[in-house]
Amino acid sequence: MSEAMSSLVALGPQACLAAGLFCALASGMMIKLPASFYRALVVFVLICAAVLAALGAPQSLPPLGRVDGIGISWQFLFYLGAVPYALSLTDDEVPAALFLGSVLGMALLAVASNLLMLFIGLEFMSLPVYLLVSRGGGGTEHSEEAAVKYFFAGGVAGSLFLLGLALYYAATHSLALVSSQGALAEAGVALMGAAALFKVGAVPLHFWLPDAYEAASPELSGFMSTSLKAAGFLLLMRLIALAPGSAFAASLPALGALTAVYGAVSALRQQSLQRLLAYSSIAHAGYLILGVGAWAAQGALPIGASAIFFYLAAYLFMSNGAFAFLAVSGARTRADLKGYGAAEPLKAAMFGALLLALAGIPPTAGFLAKLLIFWEAVKAGLYWPLAGASLGALLSLGYYLGLIQDMFFEEAGAPLKASKGAGSSVIWACALPAAVLGLAPWLVASLSGVLK
């Protein structure tokens, strides 16, 4: 196979997503098509992109690209996490095109070997989501306000990234993703890393997240908490690999513990279910930040990223399933869940399984995911941050088990108006892996070889 043909195959997922985006726009310009067409188009494009990613092999794509094991593996997280939202599309070509544009940005970020391409991927994945959030569909009427707050937070993140890029270039005279030492280079990495922390909702850069998750439709919130979060962590890991011994990398474990505790404490007092899951997402980001810090402390080797990947894969099922339940059940507040177990026992059981997985109760996927992250922290000697993250995990039992109590041990309230669609299938498809993946630790060993 020629070098040009090899490069074309390596960028097949990105080309497929771009073709799907233009197809959605072109079809909308020519004729009015039903929402089922756009659902089928988007799901088909995601499947094709995943297949093409599986066919790719590690190689260099100068001057801006590089395909490696981590980039290929993370693309599966992006595409799989995007499927539930794709199945929920009920409108015209606009959300389909915006959605595919965001996924394309993630795919570009996955193959970036240059700081400029990282920035392009970051902005490409973020800008469409601001508009999708503004369309509303969540448990609040202030969707435009939340979208504006999200937009300005994203603008600050982009500015920080560009400022850090300038400092890093001044220190190294290169935009390539090659590790470097020195105060100026480390300052650049810290500023760019702050942009990544904005995207994952780390404290104190989380202020936009609860409003955005509450304003968006439940399915879009699920997409933001899984695929978008996975892209944010890939960005953070790419940057940390430039200076794994920097002060910024050393600060991540403590920041992760603080984020986990803050997210758990804030979720305890929430009555809005989407806002509660938003703070839950912040807490889970804290565990992952701790994992990235432990990964950096052990040399930031690709083989060490398996625990982070497994956590994101498990969280993909847990979070998408939980938000899909909100969409299907019509529940918006904790009061709406009272007595739901008696009215809809199967759906309540599935949601209960997802909550137990989010809480990290054995033998669910959430338990194994937390165990792997905590074990990496032990190996890195991060005992105090580990204690803080463990406190956050303990506090989280208060709201996860509280929701189960509301469903099965409280008197029924007013009946909910359930919605139709593919949401029920998504709940089943997410709840079963979330419940049983904790019994398959061999997956982690197999991932270690893939990520090299």
Which tens digit of pLDDT belongs to each residue from 232-263?
999 999 999 988 888 999 999 999 999 999 99
Q: pTM, whole model, 2 decimals?
A: 0.93
Tell me the pLDDT tens digit for each residue of 71-114. Answer: 888 999 999 999 999 888 876 667 888 899 999 999 999 998 88
Instruction: Supply 14's token pair.
Output: 């990105």
Assess whether pLDDT exceeds 60 at residue 1: no
| Omega of the bond leading into 63 within 30 degrees of 0 (cis) | yes
Between 140 and 432, the higher pLDDT residue: 432
Out of 209-218, 298-307, 347-356, which region has the weakest mean confidence (pLDDT)?
298-307
Lowest mean pLDDT among 245-249, 386-390, 405-409, 419-423: 419-423
pLDDT digits (tens, 9 = 90+) for 152-197: 888 899 999 999 999 999 988 888 888 778 889 899 999 999 999 9
Q: What is the pLDDT of residue 375?
A: 93
Instruction: Identify the CA nearest to 78 among candidates 113, 41, 52, 116.
Output: 52
> 436 pLDDT band (50/70/90 cuts)?
confident
Angle between the N-to-C axes of helices 229-240 and 115-134, in degrees from 0 to 180, rounded to the nearest 10: 160
| pLDDT at residue 452, rounded to an integer | 58
Residues 6+ apart with CB under 8 A from 447: 73, 306, 309, 310
What per-residue confidence (pLDDT) applies to 267?
A: 93
pLDDT at 140: 62
Count of residues making up the chain: 452
**Which residue would you say has higher pLDDT here, 9 or 219?**
219
pLDDT the model gives residue 29:
73
Q: What per-residue confidence (pLDDT) applies to 338?
A: 86
The answer to whether residue 56 scores a pLDDT higher than 90 is no
Average per-residue pLDDT for the chain:
86
- Per-residue pLDDT of 343-387, as tens digits, reads 888 988 999 999 999 999 988 999 999 999 999 999 999 999 999
pLDDT above 70: percentage of residues in the chain: 90
pLDDT at residue 27 tops 70:
yes
What is the mean predicted confidence (pLDDT) over 40-49? 91
| pLDDT value of residue 31 | 73
